[in-house]
């Protein structure tokens, strides 16, 4: 009886681990999709920011 109770506890942990793994995969897919969707706007924004910083540094020298 004790062995069957331990077996149930172990299988519950395995199911929880599988659920967390599925959740993690879902998060990776969403983050990857967002990064792909915002790739060009972010590239343009960081390029513009770098240009402004370079301009300010050149003006201070």
1 pLDDT band (50/70/90 cuts)? low
| Calpha distance 21→15 (Å, rounded) | 10
pLDDT value, residue 9 = 60
DSSP string, 4-51: HHHHHHHHHHHHHHHHHHHHHHHHHHHHHHHHHHTHHHHHHHHHHHHH
pLDDT value, residue 30 = 97
61: Cα separation from own chain's centroid: 40
* Residue 2 reports pLDDT greater than 90: no
Q: What's the pTM value of the predicted model, to 2 decimals?
A: 0.53
Q: Report pLDDT digits (tens) over 7-49.
A: 666 666 667 888 999 999 999 999 999 999 999 999 999 999 9
| Calpha distance 38→54 (Å, rounded) | 24
């Amino acid at each position: 009886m004790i062995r069957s109770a331990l077996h149930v506890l172990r299988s519950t942990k395995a199911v929880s681990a599988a659920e967390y793994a599925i959740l993690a995969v879902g998060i990776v897919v969403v983050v990857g999709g967002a990064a792909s969707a915002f790739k060009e706007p972010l590239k343009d924004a960081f390029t513009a920011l770098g240009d402004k910083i370079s301009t300010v540094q050149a003006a201070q020298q």
